[in-house]
Structure 1
Amino acid sequence: MSRKRLGQLEAEVLAVLAGADGFLSTGELRERLEGEPAYTTVNTVLFRLLDKKMVERSPRGRGFAYRLVVDESELAAGRMFDHLRVASNPSDVLNQFVHGLNPDEEKSLRALLDRHKEQP
């Protein structure tokens, strides 16, 4: 098992919670994550997300279950903006991003850009 950076695991936890229908316990969340992270590691990520007010928790049995309370798309876009702002050449970053898209993602991006162009 390879160890993930905490930021990467945090992003994966957020993605799983975003796709969940309701609250998930630490164990349920852990089962849906790749690489079988330790239970305590997942709990640490959840506590950090709770501190950041990105998740809420509800008592369940002897523990808690968690649910995302922020918009996942806003979080991802915010991270992308943060990376662009500190890049020495944002154009190169965008170029690399676009070249990494699969055909469906590229089509979606083109449609969004076309709609944005049409708006005043």
Structure 2
Amino acid sequence: MSRRKLGQLEAEVLAVLAGAEGFLSPGDICDRLAGEPAYTTVNTILFRLLDKNMVGREKRGRAFVYRLTADESGLAAERMFGHLRLAHNPSAVLSQFVHGLNPREEEALRALLDEPGSRS
């Protein structure tokens, strides 16, 4: 099994929580992640996300359960902006991004760009 970077696992945990209808235990999150990450690793990620105010938790019995408190789309956009701002050639990065979109994603992007008031 290959190891994931912590940033990637953090993003995957956030995605699992975003798709949940309520609170999940660390074990529930582990079950929904590919690659069978260690429970302790997921718990560490959850503690870090809690410190960043991206998740909330509640005590259920003797354990804690977690839910997403941050806006998932805003988080993803901020990561994308961060990478774009660090790039030597942002236009090339955007070009690679757009060429990697599937037809449905491309259609959604075109619709957003065609909205009145969008930046051109």
Normalising by structure 2, report the TM-score. Answer: 0.96
Matched, 1:48 2:48: yes
Aligned residue pairs total: 118
- Which aligned pairs between 1:76-91 and structure 2 lie closer than 5 A? 76-91=76-91
Which residue identity lines up with residue 68 of structure 2 in the other structure? L
| Structure 1 residue runs of 4 or more that deviate by more than 4 Å after TM superposition | none
Structure 1 position 61, deviation (Å): 2.2
Structure 1 position 86, deviation (Å): 0.8
**2:117 is matched with which residue?**
119
Which residue identity lines up with residue 98 of structure 1 in the other structure? V
Matched, 1:73 2:97: no
- Give the Cα separation in 2 of the matches to 1:88 and 1:2: 30
Unmatched segments (≥5 aa) in structure 2: none
Which residue identity lines up with residue 23 of structure 2 in the other structure? F
Deviations 1:76-120 (A, max 9, x none): 0001111111100000000000011000000000000000xx227
Unmatched segments (≥5 aa) in structure 1: none
Which residue identity lines up with residue 71 of structure 2 in the other structure? D
- Give the Cα separation in 2 of the matches to 1:15 and 1:109: 21
Identity of aligned residues (%): 73
- Give the Cα separation in 1 of the matches to 2:41 and 2:117: 45
Structure 1 position 4, deviation (Å): 0.6
**1:5 is matched with which residue?**
5
> Which secondary structure does the structure 2 equivalent of 1:24 belong to?
coil
RMSD between aligned residues: 0.9
Deviations 1:53-93 (A, max 9, x none): 10010011221000000100000000111111110000000
